[in-house]
């Protein structure tokens, strides 16, 4: 029986007959690579889009969110490890074919379908078919991804992905080798490609004590963003909570997240947020021109909304995003 090489992600798993990919969701069966998770999500929820987090994309709207088992990264702090680090036969799945995902999203009055929780890369075929059907039904597609994907499938993905929150988990190869067990370069390439191809991109950096929380880390991360995708890409610094293999660490101190945000602002990044700390001033969107709050939030909840069409109500400055 033939070996196959998976070309979906940078891992490039070479699989003998009966072997399974590193993601646990793909398997060589008799010389043909099979996806094991098509139409079989293990998580289906209706979430506020702010939970992705996307703060500049259809605020206050609901997003029909799906995930399957498996992942092509293995983050030591994974918040969803019970589905992401499991074989699909070991999670509780439901049968939900693409048309049914779209039907349920419409019935739930969602404007978007989010492919999230694990990583849409590993259920690519399912996400692609669902995404194209979603477009035919006037729904938009949101990917919440680590961006660990090869250029070929990425080129196909940008044809149906409308918005993405991409995890930029760290800014050194060493961090990617240690914590998510991957490599940094493909992630950076994905961010640049998605932005260039017109996908609405927001970035998330989960700040993990002792792993990626130094001033130098934040400076380097912000420098890369400014240089490669510009100051208008929203950046979310998210608080780590002890989980999975990193239960020994404390939650990220609020001061560290404030420092990260201050550094991003000093580097000229216009929209910098602090996540998982309800009530932090970094929950809000500020107009970079007049400095007024254009969207006041507490966690995922919007308390005040001062954007008219796509402009700041106070000074008429354009705030980038998709607001309606």
Partner 1 sequence: MKDRLFIFITIILVVLFVASVLENILFSTSLEEYSGTILFERAKRVENDTSGILIELEQTGLQPREADYYQVMDE
Strand partners, 272: 235
CA dist., res. 120 & res. 70, Å (int): 10
Taking CB under 8 A as the rule, does residue 271 contact partner 1? no
Binding letters toward partner 1, positions 140-179, x by CB under 8 A: ----------x-xx--------------------------
Piece in contact with partner 1 (CB under 8 A), picked from 78-86, 195-203, 227-235, 303-311: 78-86
Using DSSP, state whether 66 is helix, strand or coil. Answer: strand
Q: What is the DSSP letter of 305?
A: E
- Dmax over CA atoms of the chain, in Å, equals 67
Q: Which helix (H) or strand (E) holds 295?
A: strand 293-298
DSSP state of 160: T
CA 195 vs CA 25, 258, 311, 313: distances in Å: 28, 26, 21, 27
From the list 3-11, 135-143, 158-166, 275-283, the region that binds partner 1 by CB under 8 A is 3-11
By CB under 8 A, tell whether 96 contacts partner 1: no
Among 11, 22, 40, 105, binds partner 1 (CB under 8 A): 40
User: From the list 51, 66, 72, 89, which residue makes contact with partner 1 (rule: CB under 8 A)?
Assistant: 89
Mark 224-235 as b/e (b = at least 16 C-beta within 10 Å): ebeeebebebbb
206 is an interface residue for partner 1 by CB under 8 A: no
Stretch that binds partner 1, among 12-20, 214-222, 235-243, 251-259 (CB under 8 A): 12-20
Q: How far is the CB of 130 from partner 1 (least distance, A)?
A: 14
Binding footprint of partner 1 on the chain (CB under 8 A): 1-8, 14, 17-19, 26-27, 29-40, 81-82, 85, 87-93, 95, 124-125, 128, 150, 152-153
């Amino acid at each position: 029986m033939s070996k196959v090489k998976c070309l979906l992600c940078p891992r490039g798993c070479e699989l003998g007959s009966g072997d399974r990919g590193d993601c646990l969701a793909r398997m060589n069966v008799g010389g043909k690579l099979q996806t094991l998770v098509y139409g079989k999500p293990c998580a289906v929820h209706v979430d506020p889009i702010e939970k992705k987090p996307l703060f500049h994309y259809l605020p206050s709207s609901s997003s029909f969110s799906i995930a399957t088992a498996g992942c092509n990264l293995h983050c030591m702090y994974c918040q969803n490890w019970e589905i992401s680090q499991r074989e699909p036969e070991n999670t509780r799945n439901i049968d939900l074919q693409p048309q049914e995902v779209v039907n349920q999203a419409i019935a739930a009055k969602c404007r978007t379908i989010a492919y999230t929780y694990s990583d849409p890369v590993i259920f690519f075929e399912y996400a692609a078919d669902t995404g194209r059907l979603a477009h035919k039904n006037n729904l938009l597609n949101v990917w919440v991804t680590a961006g660990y994907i090869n250029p070929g499938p990425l080129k196909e993905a940008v044809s149906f992905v409308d918005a993405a929150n991409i995890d930029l988990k760290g800014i050194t190869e060493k961090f990617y080798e240690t914590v998510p067990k991957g490599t940094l370069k493909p992630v950076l390439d994905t961010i640049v490609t998605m932005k260039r191809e017109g996908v609405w991109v927001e970035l998330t950096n989960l700040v993990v004590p002792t792993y990626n929380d130094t001033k130098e880390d934040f400076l380097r991360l912000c420098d890369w963003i400014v240089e490669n995708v510009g100051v208008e890409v929203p950046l979310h610094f998210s608080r780590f909570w002890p989980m999975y293999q990193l239960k020994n660490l404390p939650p990220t101190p609020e001061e560290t997240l404030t420092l990260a945000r201050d550094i991003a602002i000093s580097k000229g990044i216009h929209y910098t947020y602090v996540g998982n700390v309800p009530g932090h001033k970094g929950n809000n969107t500020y107009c970079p021109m007049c400095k007024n709050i254009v969207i006041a939030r507490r966690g995922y909840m919007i308390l005040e909304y001062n954007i008219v069409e796509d402009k700041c109500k106070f000074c008429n400055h354009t705030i980038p995003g998709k607001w309606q």
